[in-house]
């Protein structure tokens, strides 16, 4: 028997109609024993996700001392779902207790987590399954990092003897006994953790798309569907903007070689995309697996004669950024030059000036230049390392589109090529690369 863990995203949990689809999917396969759910997402364009309603609750607590008005929208949403499903249990008391605890805890993480908590209670009632609160089985250490050994042991113990169970995603408990959340989209991570803890054969991630596409369909009309990709390819594409799956969700399952399958709740018959450990992965016919891009990076270019012979030069630059709590995305370098690529989220004008002054004081460069509003585009595929002329084709495609490349960085694995272009050139660059590798199958 193949034990499966299923995670259902916010769109799958949006209302009673979609939750019925989830019920049918779970009950349609006896191997789907453990379910992880997100908070209800948007039901229609212009609707508000339950998690965003809960962030409004927290804002009201800070400004007004209570969240009665804001929580009324959360209450209405869940009461509507329970009524639509025809469930007969005391949801009103659950909601009363949730509102009371939100006001008592006065915690952003606790408040935000209640969408998943309430959704899991409803889903457990709908499935007739055991509800297991993630607060009781998912633990973070004193640094805020998942305590994996303690967590896996607790989950394994909690499901012992259970034919089916439902977990809320997105949160756990810190060393002080308080609820702590993952980053947005963290229910993907929760599903991965449960899959690892119970020794699942497959981790199914159910969403509103039928797997990964070779690039953003808002940029290229009907891009190619990706049947399989490796954990490494997933990590590269997810980090660079392919938002089907949280990029950190691969780590628990990767260590146990558990495949991930992306499936569509609204088209369950579709095959989906399988994400596989490298030992099980066989590249398809294409050199490139996928292309993804992300905007709003800042590049600090540093030049100094004999930089390569100055011991600790790069370390000094990075130590400046560490002092300001700034993480570095990429560090392309030459003999006398280096560039530091930083996400624009980490910088404002005042902070950037402080960083530049500190770098000048630390390493005394001959020249420094800052380029802002840069988009990074990752072209990813295991087939690239064994194919002659891949880079030449990529840069030819960009040149023919009239795109000026600001930065080039290729990983040592030769599995990806990252280029930096102006923000406004990102979409046409992705389209040009896609045409070159997915339309021009037999280039001259």
CATH number where 337 lies: 3.30.2130.10
Same-domain status, 262 and 359: no
On whether the CB atoms of residues 188 and 117 are closer than 8 A, the answer is no
Q: How far is CA 279 from the centre of its chain?
A: 24
434 phi and psi angles, rounded to 5 deg: -60, -45
Same-domain status, 310 and 210: no
**281, part of any domain:** no
Same-domain status, 195 and 116: yes
Residue 290 burial by CB count (10 A; 0-12/13-18/19+): exposed, middle or buried? buried
**331, part of any domain:** yes
Same-domain status, 266 and 317: no
**410, part of any domain:** yes
pLDDT at position 440: 65
Q: Which domain holds residue 100?
A: 4-276
436 phi and psi angles, rounded to 5 deg: -65, -40
Exposure pattern of 60-76 as b/e (b: 16+ CB <10 Å)? bbeeeeebeebbeebbe
> Which residues contact residue 285 at a Cβ distance below 8 angstroms, ignoring those fewer than 6 apart?
none
The reported pTM is 0.87
Tens place of pLDDT per residue across the chain (444 aa): 689 999 999 999 999 999 999 999 999 999 999 999 999 999 999 999 999 999 999 999 999 999 999 999 999 999 999 999 999 999 999 999 999 999 999 999 999 999 999 999 999 999 999 999 999 999 999 999 999 999 999 999 999 999 999 999 999 999 999 999 998 888 999 999 999 999 999 999 999 999 999 999 999 999 999 999 998 898 888 878 777 888 788 889 988 999 999 999 999 999 999 999 887 887 767 889 999 999 999 999 999 999 988 999 999 999 999 999 898 988 988 899 999 999 887 777 778 999 999 999 999 999 999 999 999 999 999 888 778 889 999 999 999 999 999 988 876 667 889 999 999 999 999 999 999 999 865 444
**444, part of any domain:** no
Q: Where are the alpha helices (DSSP H) in 106-199?
A: 108-127, 148-159, 187-198
Q: How far apart are CA 206 and CA 8, in angstroms?
A: 5
Among the candidates 276, 305, 336, a domain finishes at 276
Q: How far apart are CA 317 and CA 339, in angstroms?
A: 10
Residue with token string 């339950």: 50
**269, part of any domain:** yes
Residue with token string 């159910």: 206
Q: In this structure, what token pair is assigned to residue 31?
A: 């191997």
Same-domain status, 268 and 336: no
User: Strand, coil or helix: what is 162?
Assistant: coil
**284, part of any domain:** no
Number of structural domains found in the chain: 2
Q: In this structure, what token pair is assigned to residue 122?
A: 């409803």
Closest to 53 (Cα-Cα) out of 122, 114, 137: 114
Q: How far apart are CA 192 and CA 56, in angstroms?
A: 29
On whether the CB atoms of residues 213 and 226 are closer than 8 A, the answer is yes
On whether the CB atoms of residues 379 and 433 are closer than 8 A, the answer is yes
Q: Where are the alpha helices (DSSP H) in 230-324?
A: 231-239, 250-255, 313-323
Same-domain status, 271 and 315: no
Same-domain status, 358 and 264: no
Same-domain status, 315 and 268: no
Could you give the maximum distance between any two Cα atoms of the chain, in Å?
75
Among the candidates 221, 242, 276, a domain finishes at 276
Same-domain status, 325 and 232: no
**127, part of any domain:** yes
Q: In this structure, what token pair is assigned to residue 72?
A: 């009324």
Residue 336 burial by CB count (10 A; 0-12/13-18/19+): exposed, middle or buried? middle
> Which residues contact residue 245 at a Cβ distance below 8 angstroms, ignoring those fewer than 6 apart?
188, 205, 234, 238, 260, 262, 275
Same-domain status, 98 and 21: yes
370 phi and psi angles, rounded to 5 deg: -115, 130
Strand extents, DSSP E, 48-189: 130-131, 165-168, 171-173, 179-181
Among the candidates 276, 301, 325, a domain finishes at 276
Residue 139 burial by CB count (10 A; 0-12/13-18/19+): exposed, middle or buried? buried
Same-domain status, 302 and 428: yes
Same-domain status, 307 and 268: no
User: Strand, coil or helix: what is 273?
Assistant: strand
- CATH number for 217: 3.40.1160.10
Q: Any idea what the Cα angle at residue 412 is, between residues 386 and 226, rounded to 5°?
A: 55
Q: In this structure, what token pair is assigned to residue 173?
A: 């408990």
Residue with token string 């404002």: 348
pLDDT at position 444: 41
> Which residues contact residue 65 at a Cβ distance below 8 angstroms, ignoring those fewer than 6 apart?
none
126 phi and psi angles, rounded to 5 deg: -65, -40
**243, part of any domain:** yes
């Amino acid at each position: 028997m193949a034990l499966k863990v299923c995670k259902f995203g916010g769109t799958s949990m949006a209302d009673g109609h979609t939750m019925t689809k989830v019920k049918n999917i779970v009950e349609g396969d006896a191997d789907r024993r453990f379910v992880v759910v997100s908070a209800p997402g948007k039901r229609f364009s212009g609707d508000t996700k339950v998690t965003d309603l809960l962030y409004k609750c927290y804002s009201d607590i800070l400004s007004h001392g209570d969240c009665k008005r804001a929580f009324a929208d959360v209450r209405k949403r869940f009461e509507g779902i329970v009524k639509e499903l025809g469930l007969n249990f005391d949801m009103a008391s659950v909601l009363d207790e949730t509102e009371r605890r939100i006001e008592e805890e006065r915690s952003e993480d606790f408040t935000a987590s209640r969408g998943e908590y309430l959704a899991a209670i409803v889903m457990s009632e709908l499935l007739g399954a055991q509800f297991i609160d993630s607060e009781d089985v998912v633990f973070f250490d004193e640094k805020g990092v998942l305590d994996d050994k303690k967590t896996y042991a607790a989950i394994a113990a909690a499901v012992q003897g259970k034919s089916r169970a439902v977990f809320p995603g997105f949160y756990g408990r810190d060393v002080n006994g308080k609820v702590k959340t993952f980053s947005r989209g963290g229910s993907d991570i929760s599903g991965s953790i449960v899959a690892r803890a119970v020794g699942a054969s497959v981790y199914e991630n159910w969403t509103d798309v039928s797997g990964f596409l070779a690039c953003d369909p808002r940029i290229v009309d009907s891009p190619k569907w990706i049947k399989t990709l490796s954990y490494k390819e997933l990590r590269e594409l997810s980090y660079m903007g392919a938002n089907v799956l949280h990029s950190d969700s691969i780590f628990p399952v990767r260590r146990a070689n558990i495949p991930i399958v992306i499936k569509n709740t609204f088209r369950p018959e579709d095959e989906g995309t399988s994400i596989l450990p490298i030992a099980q992965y066989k590249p398809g016919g294409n050199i490139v697996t996928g292309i993804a891009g992300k905007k709003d990076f800042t590049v600090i270019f540093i030049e100094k004669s004999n930089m390569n012979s100055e011991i600790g030069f790069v370390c000094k630059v990075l130590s400046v950024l560490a002092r300001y709590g700034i993480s570095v995305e990429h560090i392309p370098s030459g003999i006398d030059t280096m560039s530091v690529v930083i996400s624009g989220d980490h910088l404002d004008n005042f902070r950037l000036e402080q960083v530049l002054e500190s770098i000048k004081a630390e390493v005394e460069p001959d020249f420094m230049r800052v380029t802002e509003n840069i988009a990074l585009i990752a072209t990813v595929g295991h087939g690239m390392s064994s194919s002659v002329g891949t880079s030449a084709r990529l840069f030819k495609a960009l040149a023919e589109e009239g795109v000026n490349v600001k930065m080039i960085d290729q990983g040592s694995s030769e599995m990806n090529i990252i280029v930096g272009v102006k923000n406004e050139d990102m979409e046409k660059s992705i389209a040009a690369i896609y045409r070159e590798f997915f339309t021009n199958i037999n280039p001259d």
